[in-house]
Amino acid sequence: MAQLVQALVLGILIGGVYALMASGLTLIFGVMRIINIAQGAFLILVATVTWWLWRETGIDPIIASVITTPMMFAFGWVLYRTVVSRIRGQSASMSVLLTFGIALVIEGILNVTSGNKFRSATPGYFEQSFTVGSIHLPKPQVYGFLAAVVVLAGLYLVLTRTWTGRAIRAVSQNPSAAALVGVSATGTAALAFALGTASAGVGGSILSVLYPFFPASHYDWISRLLGIVVLGGMGSLPGALVGALVLGLAETLTATYGSLRWSTLVFYLVIMVVLLVRPQGLFGARLREDGVTA
Amino acid sequence: MNAVRLPGFLARVPRSHLVAGVFLLAALLYPVVNPWSPYTQGVALLMFLLAIQAVSWNIISGYAGYTSLGHSMFLGLGSYTVAIIALHTGVNPLWIAALGGITAVVVAVLAGFVVLRTRGHAFVIITIALLLAAQILAVNLRPLTKGSDGITLELPFWSKDFQNIPFYYVFLLILVLTVLFSGWIKRTKFGTGLIAIREDEGKAAAIGVNTTRFKVLAYAASSFFIGVAGGVYAYFITFLNPLGAFAILGSVMIVLSALVGGRGTLYGPLVGAFIVQFINEEATVFGGGTGTRVLIMGVLLVLTVLFLPAGLLPVVQAAWRRRHPEKVEFTDQTGALGRAGGALTRDRALDELQTAAAADSLVAGEPLLEIKGASKRFGGLVAVDDTDLTVRKGTITALIGPNGSGKTTLFNLVTGGMQADSGQIWFEGRRIDRMPPWKRGHLGLGRTFQVTRLFKEMSVLQNVVAPLPDGRWRTMFADAVSGDEAVRARELLDVVGLGRFAGQRAGDLSYGQQKLVELAQVLMLEPKLILLDEPAGGVNPSLLGRLTEVIRELNARGITFLVVEHNIPMVLELCDPVVVFSRGRPIAEGEPAEIRNDPVVLDAYLGDDWRPPAAQASAAERPELSTTDRG
């Protein structure tokens, strides 16, 4: 019983972190209809920077997200303005290929500059846990979860309470109507891309403590994130939240009762089953334009 | 203008095939002429291997436009299949390499059936996921794959003196077969259908292309030769491990090859593969590890997407065409009839259409299409509201009504672009409202669109060849470039009077001409009922005259029409009966004369400033652009 509760709580903690990581991917898809394959590479980039900051200055890796988040926001904005915006209006497959290329460039740069080896930031509390009754909660997981929840709440407030947020949602629902009421689609897209990238700033910093990583780990991460987003419904923020929790739980339960070796396969299994049963995901709606354009 | 004059039959072969033939000859002779260059042969062999993969990838991702980022999975599947069987049975891997292809096809069909039933983004996601899942499976299924330790195979049975020359020829053979296969697909209606899916999937379904079957088949076709090559490759490297067999960098190089050379072209991926493998080889020679190569490939991919999205071959071809413009075939303005024998073939085509339209038990006047209580809502908006409508055989039924009254939505319900929320639709005594769009097309239901939806990148002739009148495999694999299908398409173009535009790019035609081509396209379905959505919108008066003439002619041969139109004079002259639609349901039906004077109709639709019937009579003789024209 204690084992089950332990697995459930751990699953929720991990799910929270996954939710944060997936939010950037789903935000970018929602506004631009771009599947950002580079989102996983952004995470690994930030994790590497965080690891380096931690080693050089001793700053706590999770707190380092105060530095990495604005850095990634700026990076995302510049990347959008200089590269991604060039393929606006081209077919969806071109944007996939472009972001795939960006992911490879980041992987290659990390590989060449920092070497192809496993890393992990190990601050003092790395192996400590909080103990509640018979349940042990590893401190890194708890801190990571709290940081993720705070950032997700902040993101939610930005999207619902600010003019920028409303503009982003307007563009994601109807770009031409948004343009008619004076919302610049390009400007908004750049902001959304930057916000989505910035969320990887926090996510990557958390990742550096929770999981060992190396440059090519980004494939593993992008597949997890895609699994979450497919499960929740592409472009839906609440969907990403629920998808992340479900997959976080599925992963810890498989690891607890099955074996760790198979736990990552759960993601791929979920993707297949969801696409078979409900292609639009849990929260995705079939839109009028999905049916036919007449 | 030919700089080089070629003898006899060679002059008729397209230039690209000639160039390919010369290269093939050189590749065949190279090991004979220069047998002691194992390094060059090794590089060439890897080029062949990459080319096999890129040309295969092109079938699903180039022709059909569904990008796969995990195509190297099939190489790994082929390798593991052959290696495992060879290990347990002792059979030489070369003899069972084809089994690798079969495994690849089985996996492609299963995965394809899961993701390719729907449109859009799921496919690209699943291709990455499958590759990584395959990696994990290969690591975890130790009893079968020996996990991360990998499988070691026996060394080749031939004497060391032959070096890798046998492998060189085997890969070259597979490459030639792959190119022939891809070229054959491109020539068939299967290939035309795939390109149609890439350009406009909804439209493809409306002209009888079974999109699910086409896509799954294309995915399977793109996997087979890679699987076979994988089996040979396992024997070539004699050692297999999960990370090497299911290499992501391999997938990257496949995508990059096709993109650099020109996706969607036959030879582009081949050219690209040679370039990319050459770069890869140079990077390795100059000491670059995996990291450097990933960086190089990534930069190349980004640059290609941004600055050379069409690829090398199409760009070179376009430049060639600009310098050597083709002579334009010019005939007089009477078009089809001016073409030698045009009038004759035109009549034959019309006769065939008549036979097809008569191939049912119905007599003129019996209900052909019956809509019973159909409704469709979009959120709170009721577009079609509990509608009953009957179209009788042999009529030209008009459907008129204000904008937003639900006419186009009704069309979509009938042709299957959308599913009705409730109600039934019957065609020729068969219930069709749960059928996919292509099946309705096969039954003889065709439609044109309010804003024409031709496949703009295809030629006019290809556009007309693309539709499939039935779901038989024979039809699907019929030759689309020459032979009966192309002849028929040409005849149908003559029917609408556009035969001389056959070779033009469809997107270059005027809007009115595109409408006529779309009509010819529908005729390829051998339709019994044609739904025309605003045929006159944006069409100039002289073309409009041609259009009504063609409609009358086809109707006289037994084809029934349902026409949505805002050009009231044209409707009143051409159609009988006329159905008036308002707020999602019919409010009146009758002969043009009745409708013209029906106060309910005048009030609901035509408005107060509609002229009295006396002034109408003269207007009806001379079709004019409608006041509500939206073209």
Q: Give contacts of A102 with chain B, Cβ < 8 Å.
A: 298, 302
Higher pLDDT, B172 or B536: B172
User: By the CB < 8 Å criterion, does A98 face chain B?
Assistant: yes
Q: What pLDDT is attached to residue B343?
A: 67
Poorest-pLDDT segment among B52-61, B197-206, B495-504, B602-611: B602-611
Q: Give contacts of B537 with chain A, Cβ < 8 Å.
A: none
Poorest-pLDDT segment among A231-245, B431-445, B616-630: B616-630
Which residue of B lies nearest to A87 if distances are taken between CA atoms? B306
Is residue B537 within 8 A of residue B625, CB to CB? The reply is: no
Instruction: Taking residues A44-68, report their average pLDDT.
Output: 92
Q: What pLDDT is attached to residue B342?
A: 59
Instruction: Encode pLDDT of B208-243 as tens digits.
Output: 999 999 999 999 999 999 999 999 999 998 889 888
Instruction: Encode pLDDT of B545-593 as tens digits.
Output: 888 888 998 999 889 999 998 888 888 888 888 998 888 888 888 888 8
Helix B211-237 to helix B165-187 angle (10° resolution) is 170
Q: What pLDDT is attached to residue B405?
A: 81
Tell me, what amino acid is at B452? Answer: T
CA B458-B461-B465 angle, to 5 degrees, is: 95
Give the whole-number percent of chain B exceeding pLDDT 70. 90
Poorest-pLDDT segment among A83-97, A191-205, B120-134, B617-631: B617-631
CA dist A100 and A38 (Å) reads 6
CA dist B301 and A99 (Å) reads 9
Nearest CA of chain B to the CA of A246: how many Å?
Answer: 18
According to CATH, what is the number of the domain B8-321? 1.10.3470
Poorest-pLDDT segment among A174-183, B195-204, B456-465: A174-183
Q: What pLDDT is attached to residue B624?
A: 39
Which residue of B lies nearest to A95 if distances are taken between CA atoms? B305
Q: Report chain B's mean pLDDT, rounded to a whole number.
A: 85
Where are any strands of DSSP class E within B161-307? 239-240
Backbone phi and psi for residue B446, each to the nearest 5 degrees, phi listed first? -120, 155
Which residue of B lies nearest to A111 if distances are taken between CA atoms? B291
User: By the CB < 8 Å criterion, does B325 face chain A?
Assistant: no
* Res. A166: pLDDT tops 90: no
* Res. B524: pLDDT tops 60: yes
User: By the CB < 8 Å criterion, does B380 face chain A?
Assistant: no
Nearest CA of chain A to the CA of B342: how many Å?
Answer: 34
Architecture label for domain A2-291:
Orthogonal Bundle (1.10)
Q: Give contacts of B450 with chain A, Cβ < 8 Å.
A: 294
Q: Report residue A70's pLDDT band, with 50, 70 and 90 as the boundaries.
A: very high
- Right CATH number for B346-621 from 3.30.460.20, 3.30.70.1520, 1.10.10.10, 3.40.50.300? 3.40.50.300
Instruction: Encode pLDDT of A2-43 as tens digits.
Output: 788 888 988 999 999 999 999 999 988 888 888 899 999 999
Q: What pLDDT is attached to residue B606?
A: 57
Is residue B304 within 8 A of residue A100, CB to CB? The reply is: no
Higher pLDDT, A133 or A74: A74
Going from N- to C-terminal start, the domains of chain A cover 2-291
Check CB contact under 8 Å for A226 and B305: no
Q: What pLDDT is attached to residue B189?
A: 92
Is residue B261 within 8 A of residue B267, CB to CB? The reply is: yes
User: By the CB < 8 Å criterion, does B417 face chain A?
Assistant: yes
Q: What pLDDT is attached to residue B2?
A: 46
Instruction: Encode pLDDT of B13-43 as tens digits.
Output: 788 888 889 999 988 888 888 877 888 888 9
* Res. B8: pLDDT tops 70: no
Instruction: Name the residue among B117, B120, B302 with its Cβ closest to that of A98.
Output: B302
CA dist A248 and A224 (Å) reads 10
Going from N- to C-terminal start, the domains of chain B cover 8-321, 346-621
> Sheet harboring B367-378: ordered strands across?
B381-392, B367-378, B422-427, B430-431
Nearest alpha-carbon partner for B207 in B629, B545, B570, B526: B526
Q: What pLDDT is attached to residue B7?
A: 64
Residue appearing with tokens 């999937």:
B201
Q: Report chain A's mean pLDDT, rounded to a whole number.
A: 85
Q: What pLDDT is attached to residue B620?
A: 45
- DSSP letter at A91? -
CA dist B187 and B167 (Å) reads 30
Q: What pLDDT is attached to residue A122?
A: 81
Q: How far is CA A100 from the centre of its chain?
A: 16
User: By the CB < 8 Å criterion, does A271 face chain B?
Assistant: yes
Tokens matching residue B598:
């029906």
Instruction: Encode pLDDT of B405-448 as tens digits.
Output: 888 888 899 988 888 888 999 998 889 988 999 999 999 999 99
Q: What pLDDT is attached to residue B142?
A: 84
* Res. B285: pLDDT tops 70: yes
User: By the CB < 8 Å criterion, does B25 face chain A?
Assistant: no
* Res. B508: pLDDT tops 90: no
Poorest-pLDDT segment among B88-102, B111-125, B185-199: B111-125
Q: Report residue B56's pLDDT band, with 50, 70 and 90 as the boundaries.
A: very high
Q: What pLDDT is attached to residue B629?
A: 38
Spell out the residues 6+ positions from residue B215 whose beta carbon is closer than 8 angstroms to its own: B60, B64, B66, B112, B116, B194, B197
Poorest-pLDDT segment among A105-109, B248-252, B359-363: B359-363
Give the whole-number percent of chain A exceeding pLDDT 70. 96
